A and B are shown apart, each in its own frame.
Chain A
Amino acid sequence: MRREVPIVICFLAGLSFILEYFIPHQNIRPFFENFRQWAIIVIAFAYVLGISNIVRVNYHVIQKKGRDWIYKIVLVLGLFFMIIVGIFFGGIREGTIFFWMYNNAYYPLQSTMFALLAFFIASAAFRAFRVRTFQASLLGITAILVMIGRVPIGENVWKSFPDLVEWIMNVPQLAGKRAIMIGAALGAISTALKVLVGLERTYLGGE
Chain B
Amino acid sequence: MKFDRLIQPLVFSIILVLFSSSFSLAQEDLSHSWFNYHRVNMLVFLIFFFAVIIIYIERAKVGKSLFIRRIAGLDAIEEAVGRATEMGKPVLYISGIEDVDNIQTVASMIILGNVAKMVAGYDTPLYVPICMPFVVPIAEERVKEGYAAAGKPDAYNRDNVRYISSEQFAYAAGVNGIMMREKPAANLMFGSFYAESLLMAETGLATGAIQVAGTANIHQLPFFVVACDYTIIGEELFATSAYLSKEPKLLGSLKGSDLVKAIIMVILALGAILDTLGITHFASWFYIE
The size of the chain B interface, using a CB distance under 8 A, is 78
Q: Once the chains bind, are A110 and B110 in contact (CB under 8 Å)?
A: no
Known: A22-B36, A24-B36, A47-B133. A180 touches B218 (CB 8 A): yes
Chain A residues near B130: list those with CB within 8 A. Answer: 53
The size class of the interface chain A forms with chain B is: 35 or more
Total A-B residue contacts, Cβ distance less than 8 Å: 189
Q: Is the interface of A mostly helix, strand, loop or mixed?
A: helix
Q: Once the chains bind, are A117 and B195 in contact (CB under 8 Å)?
A: yes
Nearest chain-A residue to B158 (Cβ)? A56
Chain A residues near B36: list those with CB within 8 A. Answer: 21-24
Known: A26-B31, A49-B134, A121-B198. A114 touches B110 (CB 8 A): no
Residue B16 is within 8 A (CB to CB) of chain A in the complex? no
Residue A88 is within 8 A (CB to CB) of chain B in the complex? no
Q: Once the chains bind, are A22 and B239 in contact (CB under 8 Å)?
A: no
Q: Once the chains bind, are A180 and B239 in contact (CB under 8 Å)?
A: no
Q: Once the chains bind, are A53 and B50 in contact (CB under 8 Å)?
A: no
Known: A22-B39, A205-B142. A193 touches B249 (CB 8 A): no
Chain A residues near B179: list those with CB within 8 A. Answer: none
Q: Once the chains bind, are B134 and A46 in contact (CB under 8 Å)?
A: yes
Residue B172 is within 8 A (CB to CB) of chain A in the complex? yes
CA distance A120 to B169 in the complex (A): 14
B283 vs chain A, min Cβ distance (A): 15
Known: A49-B137, A187-B235. A124 touches B226 (CB 8 A): yes
CA distance A183 to B169 in the complex (A): 29
Q: Once the chains bind, are A194 and B253 in contact (CB under 8 Å)?
A: yes
Known: A26-B32, A192-B103. A186 touches B159 (CB 8 A): no
Chain A 79-120, CB within 8 Å of chain B: the 1/0 string?
000000000000000000000000000100110011011001
Chain A residues near B144: list those with CB within 8 A. Answer: 205
Q: Among A50, A128, A187, A200, which residue has its beta carbon within 8 angstroms of that of B226?
A: A128
Q: Once the chains bind, are A120 and B136 in contact (CB under 8 Å)?
A: no
Known: A25-B33, A187-B235, A187-B239. A124 touches B223 (CB 8 A): yes
B190-213 contacts to A (CB < 8 Å): 195, 198-199, 202
CA distance A205 to B134 in the complex (A): 15
Residue B6 is within 8 A (CB to CB) of chain A in the complex? no
A41-56 contacts to B (CB < 8 Å): 43, 46-51, 53-54, 56
Q: Once the chains bind, are B109 and A203 in contact (CB under 8 Å)?
A: yes
Q: Once the chains bind, are A203 and B261 in contact (CB under 8 Å)?
A: no
Chain B residues near A49: list those with CB within 8 A. Answer: 133-134, 136-137, 163
Instruction: Please list the residues of chain A having a beta carbon within 8 angstroms of any beta carbon in chain B.
Output: 18, 21-26, 28, 39, 43, 46-51, 53-54, 56-57, 60, 67-68, 106, 109-110, 113-114, 116-117, 120-121, 123-125, 127-128, 177, 180-184, 186-195, 199-200, 202-207
The 4 closest A-B pairs by CB, nearest first: A50-B133, A187-B238, A183-B235, A184-B234
